[in-house]
Structure 1
Amino acid sequence: EALKASQNTKLKIIGMITEKRERKGKIILTVEDLTAVATVIITEKSSKEILDKARMLLPDQVVCLSIVKARGGILIADDIILPEIAKKTHKRAQIPVYAVLTSDLHVGSIKFQREAFNRFVLWLNGKYGNEKMRKIAGHVKYVLIAGDIVDGIGVYPNQIKELSVKDIYKQYKLASKFLEQIPDYVEVIIIPGNHDAPRKALPQPPISEEFLEDLQESRRIFSLGNPCNISLHNVDILMYHGRSLDDVMSSVPGMSHSKPDKAMTLLLQSRHLAPLSGGKTPLSPEHKDFLVIEKVPDIFHAGHVHTLGYTNYRGVLTVNSGCWQEQTEYMQRLGVVPTPGIIPVVNLQTFEMNFISFVYKDHGRLTLQP
């Protein structure tokens, strides 16, 4: 209908972006739906807000474009409307119960921070840290691990040189020895990442009992798929490892590993965990798209990029939980500077966040965030 409309007609179209080009200050989009393909132009005379929005768009992203039919059948966009999430008010726990958000242990790597993780486990048991830290530990009921429990085998070039354990079964056995020391009253919930044993294509199934046998014999653990939605004390949490963040960061100007919360915000705006296909993120063809963000969470928790970051976007506490692995040669080549050994702890009643460092030089540094 837009293509058949008369000149100066204003209307809105919804479609998928198949191509984006920037030329002489203008941005040219190729947009398609089930019936047709159209070219839409954001001119150099558009407002900075519209141009910035256009530069953030990803191939394969579904958007709504407010357009004007110009002379010669050209479609000019005067606004870009993303699927977006509605503003929401946090659902809260009735009691002061805390959740630790963490990810990317990479057990089996020579860069795994064994001593820092040991201090973390001691803290959960009330045996490490000052009085305030121990008080927080006493309220921790959940430890949520967003993937990459182990370093895996053959995930990136020359990885074998940086492995202390070169058998994935033994890597999980070693991980079990650390995780089984977490107090029994603390619920541990894990999902896989791209270094873990399940298939790499999203959505990933849970890590199977075959690898978690030792851990399940010693304590209860919840092994879920990636991504997954969980509810803890009435608080809705979306857990996702975060593989597609690489694609977002490499495709959108201004995105970087040092600010993972910006890329996570774009996923929320897109209402999809992997809006770009054909990149580094393998996707499984399923009968239903399980990566659509249908239900807006109270907390969006991811990992993968190894850098700590957080924001509150439209009422959604958005957290990338860092890692427990020092910089590898591969990270160095990619320019990734990790922030290992620091955990975000969220009070599910107040949504107050604390960041606790277990890196030796920090001696259990505690940082409070509102």
Structure 2
Amino acid sequence: MINLRSDNCSAVHPKIREALLADLLQAADDGDSYDRVFEDRLNAAFSAVFGCEMVAVTTATGTGANVVSIASLRDESVAGAILCHPAAHVRCWEHDAVRRYTGAGELVTVDGPDGTMTPDALRETLARLGPRSAGGVLSLTNPTECGTLYTLEDLAALTRIAHEAGLRVHLDGARLGNSLCALGLSAAELIAAAPFDAISFGGTKVGALAAEAALFRAPSDAVRKRGQTHQRAFGQRQAKRRMVEVQLLRLIEDDLWLEIARQQNALCATFADGLQGQPPVRFRYPHPTNQLFLEPTDEILSAIRELNIRHTIWPDGSVRLVFGYDFEHKTVSDLAAKITEYFAETQI
């Protein structure tokens, strides 16, 4: 059996385990003060990575990071709308958490191809909403839920359009490192071109243990206070939050998160290359990062069942395979070869 259901299935990275163990063996004289030391280090480290002031509010889950981010950015006094793509994680996979915790009505969707929204579609939606959009939040995801990517130019355009309309902009960065590596960008280059107001930074998918963060770019005092309040109110403030902070520090201080993301992307490319040209194999979407979506042909479904490949049937019917960091290239290339052999043996 090989588990390709999610990069969440990967083990905790050895370097993260070492950092956690080192901290677990220390007792703090004053737990809260000790946590604040790590918090200050984390803010400084994220600010260095993004090249601007970043304030981190740690969470245990990606949903927690998304909800804390969006709720903190949204202007509740004017009931600003929340906009996202129809396939966005905040809309399809978080059981209405954003709407429940922000008090917003139905999330407003902005459609587009392959999991992305277009600048023109965003303009049209904002024109239709009129004053209801003011004080709201635009939530983007990169890579998208289809494994595809926005270009830097599109992200810059979408962010500019939203800001001009009085919205703040959130980026769901559960796989932020994967997108940066695929685009050949640094985090600083990304945020300089597309100045997101908040980013959900994902640590769990790159080898951490329940370690995520809502990152706020140069937040006002009001947004900073709301972030801390929502962290508590939404059950995301751990008593020993340094256990999250030490993991995130280990990931970003020497670019470990990017090293892992680059490895994940390469594993996906190795597997896809091994299947290229096989008649039963059709890719539903481009696959520049670590997610691969296959058309659910009878041959593919038979092969993954016979070879015991754990996978996810996506809402659009495609077969989703996700590559975590802890596979060897030989493992995934051998798996592709076994699928090819299976096609030949069954005379497909």
Both structures adopt the same fold (TM-score exceeding 0.5): no
Into which bin does the TM-score normalised by the smaller protein fall? under 0.3
- Structure number with greater Rg is 1
The structure richer in strand per residue is 1
Q: More helix by proportion, 1 or 2? A: 2
Please report the TM-score for the alignment, with normalisation by the length of structure 2: 0.25
